[in-house]
Amino acid sequence: MAKVFTIPVPPDISRKKARERTSDPRYVDGQRLLVEAMKYLAQSDPIANRHAIELLSEHVRTRFRMTDSPLG
């Protein structure tokens, strides 16, 4: 078994500057586009398009939000 050693370091408050959060319109547009695609698929044929809607929904809930940041 390996041992993990930690060396506590107090935070340097003067070094860290707060970054102002601004929204990126491309990020918001991308989410809106995916939601509109799900709505379209649900209106045209919800039973046949169920797997596509689930795929887009999973992408919106997990991967899209983890990989794309509006702060980028």
pLDDT band of residue 6 (cuts 50, 70, 90) is: confident
The model's pLDDT over 29-57, given as tens digits with 9 standing for 90+, comes to 888 888 899 899 999 898 999 988 888 88
Q: What is the pLDDT of residue 47?
A: 92
Residues 34 and 56: beta-carbon distance below 8 Å: yes
For residues 21, 26, 29, 30, the Cα torsion angle rounded to the nearest 10 degrees is -110
In the predicted model, is pLDDT for residue 14 greater than 60? Answer: yes
Q: What is the pLDDT of residue 43?
A: 93
Residues 42 and 49: beta-carbon distance below 8 Å: yes
9 vs 46 pLDDT, higher one? 46
Q: What is the pLDDT of residue 64?
A: 55
